[in-house]
Structure formats: structure tokens, C-alpha cells
């Protein structure tokens, strides 16, 4: 494996009953790269993210991180190894404050044991202070620092999406899986989202982006993998993909300007 490869999907196959959702898909993701998975509804994009995240186990093939197979590793272990995730729905904890939502993500990297927390040992208090400050840092990064004490349920939809990203960042991912982050956003919110995702490379975070908004994809992706009926139809740079006749016929319809 290339030393610059952080994650590799090798001939992954996944079935739901007799339905083949992902069929023999392979690709590599390089350090600090933004790779986008595109394709029609039902193409297998979210299923593939779930296999990478450890929510689903492949029927065949494997996912490797820095050359080591993740097969058999559950989702929470992959999170500790540095794979973060957002979902198509924001899935924020609406009965918690904005800050508390992000603190949940920080605790994934915490060292405090249950007995330490029960005894309120000094190291536990120090860690709680660190978690508080880290959570504020990630809220400021996504532009929600002034909303820290508000209830998450009171945030507009677009800000709930940003909150979900902040919570994912708080787990200190090296690879962040973003599942349709621009869905439901207006043009101004999409512009802010594009700027935010671009800044992730400054934090040494690699991103795998599933997105239907081709304008967002073409602004962000350095490499695109096109799925159709579970199979890899094409891959390449944005220019390669937008001019690929098979991709145009199956998905884009016309060239993306």
C-alpha cells in the first residue's frame, strides 16, 4: 500500500437478504484528500459508508486503514481508531444543550474510568475541563460558539447539521464520513458548508463525502467514485467524471458546468 494511503476499500460486497447493495467495489483514499461517492438513489453509497464505519459487515472484501484490516472491528473501535461519521439526518440530542452535544463526541477519546468519575478524582476534573474547552473549540470552528448554551432542539435545521459535524470532529477523526451534509440547506448555508469542509484538511482530516448536490461535489472533491446499482461505474478527477459518457447517461444527465 502507498504510504500516502490512509484508507482502502478492497472488493467490498454487501447484501441485504438476496439484494446485492454493494458489489465488488474498490478504491483508495489518500491523506487529507476529499473523496466523493456519487450515484443515483439506491446506488449503495450510504451502505458503503456503513461498511467503512463498521455499522455493517461486508459479505466479501475488506476495509483497511493504514494497511491494517478493519474487518471484525465494531463501529466504536473504529471511532477510536479515527473514523468519524455524520448521517443523512442531523441526529442531534435535542434534549441537550449545543455544548453538551459536542462534549458527547469529546468523551469518545476520554480516559476516565467509571470508578474515577464516581470518586471525582483530580484527573477526572481535569479531563472534564479539557472536554469543555475542546467542545467550545469545535463549536467555534463550525461557527456555533455563541449558541453553546442553547438547546439543540432550538437550532435551525442548517445549524443542526453544523452541530452534527462539530460533534463528529470532537471525536478527533482522521477520516470523516459525511453523508449528504448539504441536504436541505439553502445557498448561503451550502457556501458556508463548503468553506468548512475545505478547512478540514488544515486539521489533517481526510473526508469521504456522499452528496447529491453536484455543485458542492465539484467544488470539494479531488477524486470522485461513481456507484450505480452497487457497482463502481467510474472514478477519476471531477473533470474526468463530468465528461465520462457512462456517468452522464447513468447519473448526471448533462455535463456539470
- Please, are residues 116 and 140 in contact by the beta-carbon 8 Å criterion? no
Q: What is the pLDDT of residue 105?
A: 81
- Does residue 108 contact residue 79 with C-beta atoms inside 8 Å? yes
Q: What is the pLDDT along the chain (257 residues), one digit of tens a residue?
A: 677 999 999 999 999 988 999 999 999 999 999 999 999 988 999 999 999 999 999 999 999 999 999 999 999 999 999 999 998 877 788 889 999 999 988 865 555 544 444 445 566 666 688 888 999 999 999 999 999 999 999 999 989 999 999 999 999 999 999 999 999 899 999 999 999 999 998 899 999 999 999 999 999 999 999 999 999 999 999 999 989 998 888 766 554 44
Tell me the C-alpha distance between 215 and 181, whole Å: 13
Predicted local confidence at residue 123, as pLDDT: 62
The distance of Cα 45 from the centroid of its chain, to the nearest Å, equals: 12
Are 217 and 34 in contact by the 8 Å Cβ rule? The answer is no
Domain ranges of the chain: 1-82+174-257, 92-172
Q: 116-130 burial string, b = 16+ CB within 10 Å, else e?
A: beeeeeeebeebbee
Q: What is the number of other CB atoms lying within 10 angstroms of the CB of residue 66?
A: 14
Residue 156 and residue 138: Cα distance in Å, rounded? 18
Residue 158: all three cell numbers together: 442548517
Q: What is the DSSP letter of 132?
A: H
- pLDDT given for residue 125 in this prediction: 63
Could you count the other beta carbons within 10 Å of the beta carbon of residue 217?
A: 22
Task: Report the alpha-carbon distance of residue 50 to residue 142 in Å, rounded.
Answer: 25
User: Quick count: other Cβ atoms within 10 Å of Cβ 151?
Assistant: 16
Q: Which CATH number fits domain 1-82+174-257: 3.100.10.20, 3.30.70.1450, 3.40.50.300, 3.20.20.60?
A: 3.40.50.300
| Selection from 7, 2, 38, 19 nearest residue 228 by Cα | 38
Predicted TM-score of the model (pTM)? 0.87
β partners of residue 177: 85, 208
Amino acid at each position: 500500500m502507498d504510504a500516502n494511503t490512509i484508507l482502502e476499500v478492497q472488493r467490498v460486497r454487501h447484501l441485504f437478504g438476496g439484494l446485492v447493495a454493494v458489489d465488488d467495489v474498490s478504491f483508495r483514499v489518500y491523506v487529507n484528500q476529499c473523496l466523493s461517492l456519487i450515484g443515483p438513489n439506491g446506488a449503495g453509497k450510504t451502505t458503503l459508508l456503513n461498511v467503512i464505519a463498521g455499522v455493517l459487515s461486508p459479505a466479501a472484501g475488506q476495509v483497511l486503514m493504514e494497511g491494517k484490516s478493519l474487518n471484525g472491528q465494531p463501529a466504536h473501535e473504529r471511532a477510536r481508531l479515527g473514523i468519524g461519521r455524520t448521517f443523512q439526518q442531523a441526529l442531534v440530542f435535542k434534549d441537550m444543550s449545543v455544548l453538551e452535544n459536542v462534549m458527547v463526541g469529546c468523551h469518545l477519546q476520554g480516559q476516565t474510568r467509571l470508578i474515577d468519575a464516581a470518586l471525582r478524582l483530580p484527573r477526572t476534573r481535569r479531563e472534564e475541563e479539557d472536554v469543555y474547552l475542546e467542545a467550545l473549540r469545535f463549536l467555534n470552528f463550525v461557527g456555533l460558539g455563541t449558541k453553546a448554551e442553547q438547546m439543540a432542539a432550538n437550532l435551525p435545521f442548517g445549524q443542526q447539521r453544523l452541530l452534527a459535524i462539530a460533534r463528529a470532529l470532537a471525536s478527533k477523526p482522521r477520516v470523516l464520513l459525511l453523508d449528504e451534509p448539504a441536504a436541505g440547506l439553502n445557498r448561503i448555508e451550502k457556501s458556508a458548508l463548503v468553506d468548512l469542509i475545505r478547512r478540514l484538511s488544515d486539521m489533517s482530516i481526510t473526508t469521504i463525502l456522499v452528496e447529491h448536490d453536484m455543485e458542492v461535489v465539484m467544488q470539494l472533491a479531488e477524486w470522485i467514485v461513481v456507484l450505480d446499482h452497487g457497482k463502481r461505474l467510474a472514478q477519476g478527477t471531477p473533470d474526468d467524471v463530468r465528461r465520462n459518457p457512462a456517468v452522464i447517461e447513468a447519473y448526471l444527465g448533462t455535463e456539470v458546468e
